[in-house]
Structure 1
Amino acid sequence: MGKKKHEPPPPTGGLDQNGLEKRLCNCICLCQLVSILSGVALLYLSVIVVSPSKQTLDAEFESTPVVCTTLENMRNSTNCSVLSCGEWCISKGGSTCAIIHAKVRREGSAVSFRDCDPVRATFCSAQEYNQTQQFICSEGEDKTGQCDALDRFMDCKPIKNKADDIKTEMTSLCRNITAIRDCRGTKPDGTQEKEIHVCTRYTCNALNGIYECSTGNCKKLENPTCVDRCSNLDMGNMAVVTPDLFHWGRCRSAFSNGTRIWTDQQKPLSMYCTRIRNVSATEMEAEDCLNGTLMDAPSFRQITNYKQMLGVLERNEEPLFEDQSFLPSEKTVEIFNRTKVMINVLGCVNTLRKECTTWLAHKGRDGSEGMHPAVYPCFITPHATNYVITDYDRQATVSQLVMASAVPSCLLLFSCFCLCLCGKTVGVNEFGLFFCKPCHKQDGDGGKEPAKLRAP
């Protein structure tokens, strides 16, 4: 006698499915979709969220921000291995090669001036003429050229043309003098010149004189008169230099954290501050103030231009407090005299919202255009001296790490568990339809036991 063999039960259900079986079929399809999507999400999130978040937390950045001041923006650096900010981390090399270096220091004191006469404010720049931005109109990429975006006051002069594809001997070199000079011009009859030059690579090669421009549309100033900005200051007994404006006037006292640190009975006081929070008729509040310097009243009143004021602050010959308890000198709070600045530990973002364009426009201001270099908060780690980052929030980083790892993982495990469970309870008949095994007696013959084959 051979071994007994059982015939497989005949298919059950035919072309009919009950409501439960239809819902079960839909549930399987949904679980398959969720498992695929959660698996793919887990794969991508592990690269663009989980790994960077873990690196950020492992670096142990200090939660209290320090202050960065941009020193140099290397827009076309030859070393692009680690950028300051690049779009889309997975695609390396697709962003503009920009590397920013800055000096890093601790934050200074908060100061409030009280009982003031109206404090005056104006924009000043210490830039020299030969340091101003220059543009050569016949040079540049495509048809736009370097003069297609000239803005504000330009001092243009003819120079020898070096571009082979421009059929002209001479072209124009224009310097942006907006930051250092204020210009006015009139025709003999008192009207302004109305002719407008629209600059491209092939036009504006004959500019000569002072022009007022707006995004490449320039008009020449007739009989121009230019005066140096901040060249005739009338000092009082206090002066505050900020990245945006120079403030000066006369006040009776200054306080820091509720402590009076200066009165008008002392020598005139000058300082550098990053932010002016409030200016009213009689008060002015400033934050992150450094280099508090006292100066003899006669010498202070002899200061007539902005460069002299910067020299006083840089020398800091007579500090307000010898122990640097208030308004410390910049050297005493310095952390790094030069280091790389990155938006995060990877130096790139994955938002695809041109976030780096905005970031570089602000953090990349190094003073080359005559404005004050960018000053902004940044974060340091005790484990590295070669870089700092600007975007850091430990709580948000932990939340992103948990969400990016836990949510897709839980969905993947749950959907796989459901599929395994369905695999034990679902069968397929000869018509290719799902049927629920526990819902039918698998005898195919009205509940009778299936026939058994006996060996001959």
Structure 2
Amino acid sequence: MGKKRKCKPPVIPQQDKRICGSICFCQMVVVFSSVSLIYLTVAVYIPSYKAFHSGYETTPAMCQTINTSLINNCSWASCSEWCLTKASGFCPQIHVTTRQNGTDLELRNCTRFTTIACPQVTTDKLKRYNCNNGTECATLSGVFNCSLGHCRNFSEIYQCHHRADGAVLDSDKDNTKLTGFFECKGSRCVKIKRHFSCDRYCPAINTNFSNVYITQDDSVHTVVCSTAWAFTESKGIEPRVEIDEKMIWEAKYGEVLMISCHHLKHNSSSIRGFDCVNGTIYNTTEIPRPSMNFTQFWRVRNKWRHLLDPTHRYVPPQATLTIFNHSRLFINLDGCVNTLRGECREFLQTNGRDGRNQTAQSRFPCFYNKNSSERVVARYNLNTTWRQFVIAATVPSVLFVVSFLTLCIIMQSVSVGDDTKMRCKYCLGNSDDPDSLTTPTDSGGGAANGAGVPSRRGDLTASHTYETDINLILHALNEQ
């Protein structure tokens, strides 16, 4: 019995890497640019269209937070982490008042500049006592906020004014009933039923010789100055205008000036204040000497003698600049971001302070629509929006068009021969093209290798077929 004949695998010619690489690269660019155009429609094109037709003022106003709440499954949120899904879970809702910017001014010939800060405290950082764990709560002392036996000591950061007149519980025996505010001494805890207030423990404010008090967030700056000069003039609810410097205050014996500014720059002998409001004059007799705490300071602020400028043009009361008393705050026109980098939690921390427990309210630039008080936005820049729109529309579109046209050109200029090899029809000097091959000849025009070698290009294919047949016969004989 003869040996089984093996089938010779088909001969697959090696393709031109330049042609294959060009086709693969252009196909990849077409696919990626198409996907980019689809994604950018939601991420850039539609938001840009909304921004161009929103009607918001391009000059920012100033917003101040009046209420912040965190609820679940809300109908709207000031900021959501993903624009393709409805707000759920983490759902901050921030309400603000909107007003025009205050006065930019400069206090001159200033000395004895001091700063006293009373930053907002975070109750989540307080030590937690687990009253369900043996006798851990047997030595409690102070005002505690408890939830199912887990208590935090508010007395560490607050001085509370309360009256404990509720039920008496034993922290060791009735630990599961510890829910709410309690005044604890040892293991004996008395529930605080009525509403009460607490003051933060803050450093004392030095009041010796100071005739100017500037509040900025949770800080109070004290200084001795001789004059105040304004660089802008307020127009009520209309945007302010810039003016030549004008002196609006000069120090007098027995008077104290108090103002509130959004931002300060301190030089060697002057202080520059931006967006300053609520300029009021006080008698020095109303200021406790030689120091006062923040609670006293907040009480003194309600005892001003008269306004700095009764015409409300320089450092005016905030109420005269108010555009909207109540509006919803959104991080942008869509109320969401797509970066997934925790921007919403950062936005809540910086813009969500509503002044609880006598802390400073968040104050920040915002943008509004004159015809609607329903919402204001914190981010709105038409120049940036236009630049992003142009880049997002141009880059993927150009890549798509160029790659698509390149594929069309390759389709017209590349042919596939009978040997399944792709060749460029219009390329000069292509050594893979059978028609471009010639046989060397002698000077007389005869065959260089004898009469058996073809001398014409038209006979090359037949010669190649004949040699292939000979090789196949020899291979079959070897297998026999």
What TM-score does the superposition give when structure 2 sets the normalisation length?
0.65
Report what 1:46 is aligned to.
41
Alignment of 1:24-35 (within 5 A): 24-35=19-30
Q: 1:114 aligns with which of 108, 112, 117?
A: 108
Encode CA deviations 1:302-359: one digit per residue, 9 max, x unaligned. 8955456546656866222122111011111111112111111111111222222222
Q: CA distance change for structure 1 residues 77 and 374 in 2, over 3 Å: closer, same or farther?
A: farther
Q: Percent identity?
A: 27
Alignment of 1:341-352 (within 5 A): 341-352=329-340
Q: 1:250 aligns with which of 224, 228, 233?
A: 224
Encode CA deviations 1:38-77: one digit per residue, 9 max, x unaligned. 0001111111122112212221432221111111221115
Q: 1:353 aligns with which of 341, 344, 359?
A: 341
Q: 2:279 aligns with which of 274, 279, 292?
A: 292
Report what 1:167 is aligned to.
none
Q: 1:234 aligns with which of 207, 210, 213?
A: 207
Alignment of 1:329-408 (within 5 A): 329-368=317-356, 370-408=358-396
Q: CA distance change for structure 1 residues 90 and 44 in 2, over 3 Å: closer, same or farther?
A: same
Q: CA distance change for structure 1 residues 317 and 177 in 2, over 3 Å: closer, same or farther?
A: farther
Residue 398 of structure 2 corresponds to residue 410 of structure 1 = yes
Aligned AA (2:97): K
SS at match of 2:405: helix
Aligned AA (2:27): Q
SS at match of 2:274: strand
Report what 2:257 is aligned to.
269
Separation in structure 2 between the aligned mates of residue 209 and residue 279 of structure 1, nearest angstrom? 51
Choose 250-259 or 320-329, whichever is displaced more: 250-259
Deviation at 1:297, TM superposition (A): 4.0
Unaligned runs of 5+ in 1: 1-13, 144-153, 164-169, 182-200, 211-225, 449-456
SS at match of 1:327: coil
Q: CA distance change for structure 1 residues 434 and 332 in 2, over 3 Å: closer, same or farther?
A: same
Separation in structure 1 between the aligned mates of residue 65 and residue 229 of structure 2, nearest angstrom? 29
SS at match of 1:107: coil
Choose 171-180 or 326-335, whichever is displaced more: 171-180
The answer as to whether partners of 1:291 and 1:316 remain within 8 angstroms in 2 is no
Deviation at 1:171, TM superposition (A): 5.3
> Larger radius of gyration, structure 1 or 2?
2
Separation in structure 1 between the aligned mates of residue 88 and residue 414 of structure 2, nearest angstrom? 50
Q: CA distance change for structure 1 residues 138 and 384 in 2, over 3 Å: closer, same or farther?
A: farther
Aligned AA (2:221): H
Encode CA deviations 1:385-405: one digit per residue, 9 max, x unaligned. 211111222221111101111
The answer as to whether partners of 1:125 and 1:179 remain within 8 angstroms in 2 is no
Aligned AA (2:101): E
Report what 1:220 is aligned to.
none
SS at match of 1:424: helix
Separation in structure 2 between the aligned mates of residue 319 and residue 415 of structure 1, nearest angstrom? 69
Residue 49 of structure 2 corresponds to residue 75 of structure 1 = no
Aligned length, in residue pairs: 370
The answer as to whether partners of 2:62 and 2:366 remain within 8 angstroms in 1 is yes
Encode CA deviations 1:233-290: one digit per residue, 9 max, x unaligned. 636432222212112343222222232111113743222222222164x433322111
Q: What is the RMSD of the two structures over their aligned residues, measured on CA atoms?
A: 4.1
Encode CA deviations 1:150-182: one digit per residue, 9 max, x unaligned. xxxx954487x7x3xxxxxx653532663669x
Report what 1:322 is aligned to.
310
Separation in structure 2 between the aligned mates of residue 384 and residue 343 of structure 1, nearest angstrom? 17
Alignment of 1:127-138 (within 5 A): none
Report what 2:136 is aligned to.
none
Q: 1:175 aligns with which of 154, 165, 182?
A: 154
The answer as to whether partners of 1:366 and 1:374 remain within 8 angstroms in 2 is yes
The answer as to whether partners of 2:366 and 2:377 remain within 8 angstroms in 1 is yes
Separation in structure 2 between the aligned mates of residue 61 and residue 314 of structure 1, nearest angstrom? 36
The answer as to whether partners of 2:107 and 2:228 remain within 8 angstroms in 1 is yes
Separation in structure 2 between the aligned mates of residue 95 and residue 57 of structure 1, nearest angstrom? 31
What TM-score does the superposition give when structure 1 sets the normalisation length?
0.68
Aligned AA (1:262): W
Unaligned runs of 5+ in 2: 1-10, 133-140, 161-174, 187-198, 232-244, 428-432, 436-455, 460-480
Separation in structure 1 between the aligned mates of residue 351 and residue 277 of structure 2, nearest angstrom? 21
Deviation at 1:115, TM superposition (A): 2.6
Residue 91 of structure 2 corresponds to residue 97 of structure 1 = yes
Higher RCO by CA contacts (8 Å cutoff, separation 6 or greater): 1
